[in-house]
Amino acid sequence: MITSPLIMTVSERDEFKRTNLDVEAGLKNLTDERDDLKRKLNNLAQKGWEYFSGSFYYISSTKKTWKQSRDDCLQKGADLVIINSKEEQNFTRKSQKIMWIGLTDSETEGTWKWVDGTPLTKSSWDSGEPNGGENENCVEMKKFELENSWNDLSCSTRLNWICEMKDRP
């Protein structure tokens, strides 16, 4: 038995060509986007940023107050880090620096909030912390060798800090 070759109508052929052109254009856009992201990633890496799990992080080499640290992050298009998971907590600890994170109760004593306004739901407080009352309204990551390493401290203390830039390089 002889099978007949596949015959395509003119409209089917034209539709196939249009689809093929759309796929090629989409591929070019993705390739261009990938190349742009690689350039941005390399640029950020050269400026001291490190990528982890969807965010870029910058750890300072100087020491400032909590507010000065936050201002520095904001000037960089970021904010002090908001720790959302055990993995992120472990990542931030690996720098082995005592540093500010984006947690404070300066608005309402005892009500800890992240810099984006979300309330603290999961914490990594060191044993006995927080304990500073009205005098200690900002949070440092103090004992980098321990998972539970947060300590409340006077916001005027000068420490290193860690910025986080989410969703965009």
Instruction: Read off the pLDDT of residues 36-53 as tens digits, 9 standing for 90 and up.
Output: 878 877 777 778 899 898
User: How many C-beta atoms lie closer than 10 Å to residue 159's C-beta?
Assistant: 21
CATH superfamily of 50-166: Mannose-Binding Protein A, subunit A (3.10.100.10)
Would you kindly state where each structural domain of the chain is located, as residue ranges? 10-46, 50-166
User: pTM score, two decimals?
Assistant: 0.77
Query: Residues 125, 150: contact at Cβ < 8 Å?
Result: yes
Asked whether the beta carbons of 72 and 154 are under 8 A apart, the reply is no
Read off the tokens for 117.
């306004």
Going through the chain in order, the beta strands assigned E by DSSP cover 49-52, 55-59, 79-80, 99-104, 113-114, 138-141, 150-153, 160-166
pLDDT digits (tens, 9 = 90+) for 94-143: 888 999 999 999 999 999 999 999 999 999 999 999 998 899 999 999 98
